[in-house]
Structure 1
Amino acid sequence: MHLPSLTDLRASARVVSLPLHTRFRGILVREAMLLEGPEGWAEFSPFTEYADAEAAAWLAAAIEYGWEGTPAPAREAIPVNATVPAVAAASVPDVLARFDGCRTAKVKVAEPGQTLADDVARVRAVRAAMGPQGRIRVDANGAWNVDEAEHAVHALAEFDLEYVEQPCATVPELAELRTRIRYMDIPIAADESVRKAEDPVAVARAGAADLLVVKVQPLGGVRRALAVVAEAGLPAVVSSALDTSVGLAMGTALAAALPDLAFDCGLGTASLLAADVTAESLRPRSGELPVGRIAPDTALLETHAAAPERRDWWLARLERCHALLSAS
């Protein structure tokens, strides 16, 4: 990878702070840094709690996209799912209404402070709203132990789950759960066990998952993500990290380059944002997103510019991550 100078990166860096419609991943505001390279705009937006060693991969992804370009696409549009945060069941119809034409919904479960009964009520509401033809997947973000996960899958099975995403935190736990629920024919998808692992293919080697959830920024770029999928030999779902439309376009580049795309992708999350960096936000239309680059609107970059102290925080983070990439 050609590494631009820190001076070049800082020259175009813009930091934004975008409000969300509903609390998601424990936050109500999403911060992101946008960088403009010769190929176009890219996003660097590791969550604020991530350490520099992990965040550096996100910078590598932004540099690849903005400075090196992307592989040739195999498709021009990407089918995407709706994303339902850990809201009350009564709020589900309003959430789904933001995802035009989506035939699949990913439902957050195992939220801290909530119960399995809350999860069951939320998933029941999604099934009622989507009807029998809709597809439902649930995401626990690794919050259950094996016994809790087994119990939860039994409780949610009546809603005809497409798969359960990262029900447990560790690869051995996923492998054990997969053995326990094999007779139920409910696949297990690995997310954190891919994007936060030193060896993102270990979960596949262990037989601990039926499919992978891959994200461009955490895996270090489109080409790195494609290599992980190819080595794992499992179907893949491309998802987002609550990106701006610029970052979501990076995700569509990965989804477009995959040889096979059997599942709707989790790239419709601009619908969770109450503001974006472009007036034509990359939101689902008839359940799909177009493949292509997004350029932010200058006026919106100004409107949603982060406070000076937050901009300084991100610039310092950029410098540290750039140093890590330079040393690697």
Structure 2
Amino acid sequence: MVTSAADPPMTAPLPLPRPSLAEILDGAVAVSLPMRTRFRGQDAREVMLLRGPLGWAEFAPFPEYTAPETAAWLAAAVEAGWSGLGEPHRTQIPINATLPAVPPEQVEAVLWGFGDPGSIPAVKIKVAEPGQSLEDDLARFREAARLVPQAGLRADANAGWTHQQALRAITALAEECGERIEYVEQPVPGVEGLAELREALQARGLAVRLAADEAVRKAEDPLRVARLGAADLIVVKAPPLGGVAAAAEIVRASGLDAVVSSALDSSVGLTAGLALAARLESLPYACGLGTAALLAEEVVNEPLIPEDGVLAVPHRHGVIAAPEPDPELVARHRVSAERQRWWEDRVRAAYGG
């Protein structure tokens, strides 16, 4: 577990009137960024960059999100570009490495993308990948454990296991890695599924923490996880929760420890996650905000890649602000006119939602 200094919470920016749809779309540009490794079923990450009066922002809901769900992503982008992200009080954020469901021989190359492996405080390892087995997951864990002996280990199943599969897998992971397992993230679907699994693990005497992700960010009531005692901690992402202020309030109201993570954002979008991490009163775990390392190319000249296990919170004139996209890089990665219209239509649908 990584501890952080008890810095005071970030000052919240003052809310501004909601910009018009025309203001939001003025200068908006969608880009497609190639990835180093297939991740979440994607070889490239498409995002839409928005320019507000207070800085750049990103609107990037995944394709499966419906219009009502994307409204929260747009609210987060509007907060970043039009209301601002406030002043940083915690200026450095500990960052975990994120390991896709790659074979063991590719693990080392992925980890080096997050800087010197010796400085990595924790590794989040994808498991329950369709078409792979538990032995594939264990082999990936063994290799990560060998390469970064100082790091905590986390499993992220993206709700891909059944109850029985999760019991078997978590038991095997605990036997393999013991106390190095910091937590298992969303091993089964739903809040009730998490609560049932947590009870079963406790009955077996397995002291493995469970973290809720999808059960928070895709739930109508994100605090239900805490009320049902379904998880030991929550994973929060600013865009799907409606922005930094909204996500920070969910963490406060839950009373649970939180890990701030990204939604596979570009360095522009990652800034909101860093702002959230800078705002929380307690930050006991390294955050999953190093995912720019998974992108082969970016829209900024200096991507937000961790150094020595941390990321500095980007700011200008004392205020948190995303790095400026490079016009040449934006032009290089700009999507087709058809895809640009598709993204603009998503903004319109989200605005109406």
TM range (shorter): over 0.9
Q: Give, in angstroms, the shift of residue 239 of structure 1.
A: 0.1
Q: Give, in angstroms, the shift of residue 240 of structure 1.
A: 0.2
**CA contact under 8 A between 2:34 and 2:45: conserved in structure 1?**
yes
What CA distance in whole angstroms lies between the structure 2 residues aligned with 1:17 and 1:79? 28
Q: Deviations over 1:195-242 (max 9, x none)?
A: 000000101110000000000000000000011001100000000000
**CA contact under 8 A between 1:71 and 1:257: conserved in structure 2?**
no
Q: Give, in angstroms, the shift of residue 3 of structure 1.
A: 1.5
Aligned to 1:115: 133
Aligned to 1:312: 341
Q: Give, in angstroms, the shift of residue 73 of structure 1.
A: 2.8
What CA distance in whole angstroms lies between the structure 2 residues aligned with 1:320 and 1:280? 33
What CA distance in whole angstroms lies between the structure 2 residues aligned with 1:305 and 1:36? 15
What CA distance in whole angstroms lies between the structure 2 residues aligned with 1:300 and 1:250? 21
**CA contact under 8 A between 1:74 and 1:259: conserved in structure 2?**
no
What CA distance in whole angstroms lies between the structure 2 residues aligned with 1:211 and 1:310? 37
Aligned to 1:260: 282
Q: Give, in angstroms, the shift of residue 190 of structure 1.
A: 0.3
Q: Give, in angstroms, the shift of residue 193 of structure 1.
A: 0.4
Q: Give, in angstroms, the shift of residue 278 of structure 1.
A: 0.3
Asked whether 1:146 is paired with 2:168, we answer no
Aligned to 1:130: 148
Q: Deviations over 1:250-274 (max 9, x none)?
A: 1000000000100000000000000
Aligned to 2:8: none
Q: Which of 19, 30, 38 is 1:15 aligned to?
A: 30
**CA contact under 8 A between 2:125 and 2:141: conserved in structure 1?**
yes
What CA distance in whole angstroms lies between the structure 2 residues aligned with 1:73 and 1:114? 42
Aligned to 1:203: 225
Aligned to 1:185: 207
Asked whether 1:162 is paired with 2:178, we answer no
Letter in 2 for 1:88: P
Compare 2-11 and 277-286 and name the one that shifted more.
2-11
Asked whether 1:89 is paired with 2:111, we answer no
Aligned to 2:255: 233
What CA distance in whole angstroms lies between the structure 2 residues aligned with 1:310 and 1:152? 40
How many matched pairs? 323
**CA contact under 8 A between 2:120 and 2:148: conserved in structure 1?**
no
Aligned to 1:173: 193
Q: Give, in angstroms, the shift of residue 321 of structure 1.
A: 1.1
Aligned to 2:292: 270
Q: Give, in angstroms, the shift of residue 70 of structure 1.
A: 2.1
Runs of 4+ in structure 1 off by over 6 angstroms are: none
| 1:99 match: secondary structure | coil
Aligned to 1:99: 114
Q: Give, in angstroms, the shift of residue 295 of structure 1.
A: 1.4
Letter in 2 for 1:102: I
What CA distance in whole angstroms lies between the structure 2 residues aligned with 1:249 and 1:70? 9
What CA distance in whole angstroms lies between the structure 2 residues aligned with 1:114 and 1:70? 40
Q: Give, in angstroms, the shift of residue 187 of structure 1.
A: 0.5
Q: Give, in angstroms, the shift of residue 286 of structure 1.
A: 0.8
TM-score w.r.t. the length of structure 2 is: 0.90
Letter in 2 for 1:36: R
What CA distance in whole angstroms lies between the structure 2 residues aligned with 1:295 and 1:204? 38
TM-score w.r.t. the length of structure 1 is: 0.97
Q: Give, in angstroms, the shift of residue 145 of structure 1.
A: 1.3
Letter in 2 for 1:308: A
Aligned to 2:65: 50
Compare 89-98 and 180-189 and name the one that shifted more.
180-189
Q: Deviations over 1:133-179 (max 9, x none)?
A: 21100000001111110100011112131100000111111111111
What CA distance in whole angstroms lies between the structure 1 residues aligned with 2:63 and 2:192? 28
How large is the Cα RMSD of the aligned pairs?
0.9
Q: Give, in angstroms, the shift of residue 103 of structure 1.
A: 1.8
Aligned to 2:318: none
